[in-house]
Amino acid sequence: MASGIDPNALRAAREEAGLTQHELARLVGAAGGERISRWELGTSSPRPDFLVRLAKALDIPTLRLIQIDAEVPDLRALRLQAGLSAQNLAMAVKVAVPTYYAWEQGRWARLPAPESLKGLARAYGVAVDAVVAAFRESQRQHQRGGDTSA
């Protein structure tokens, strides 16, 4: 399974902060409490930029709202943590969007060039070693048959 928002973590963090769904929606600029409700139920997911806004409004690290099925975050988890869409990330690293999706989905034969790894590390806000580990985790999930779609 690909990394994504953890609906239970979102609800727990909101309740811990003492906020209603409508109050949180106002803080993050969402259309209303119904949207927060859908995110907490897992029937829809916030865009990466909203994930970052949610974490800031709840005063928690973004990674706490992301469900990770392994000890090491995959590329999608790093992207979500950074609040970036796949398109924004591909532009920042100067690769085609399908190339980035292939990386995130674990469909790659060898690691990208060191310059690309450094660019990804800058975009994600992590060390290059964390990016390499995330590449390997994404590939492990792909080989295991996990869904790593964006």
pLDDT at 70: 76
Paired with 4 in beta bridges are 67
Asked if 133 and 71 touch (Cβ cutoff 8 Å), the reply is no
| pTM score, whole prediction | 0.77
**Residue listed under structure tokens 């949180």:** 24
H helix and E strand count, the chain: 9, 2
Q: Give DSSP secondary structure letters for 67-114.
A: E-SSSS--HHHHHHHHT--HHHHHHHHT--HHHHHHHHTT--SSPPPH
If you average pLDDT over residues 84-111, what whole number do you get? 93
The average confidence (pLDDT) of the chain is 90
pLDDT of residue 148 exceeding 70: no
Specify the higher pLDDT residue, 31 or 27.
Answer: 27
If you average pLDDT over residues 60-73, what whole number do you get? 86
Asked if 23 and 12 touch (Cβ cutoff 8 Å), the reply is no
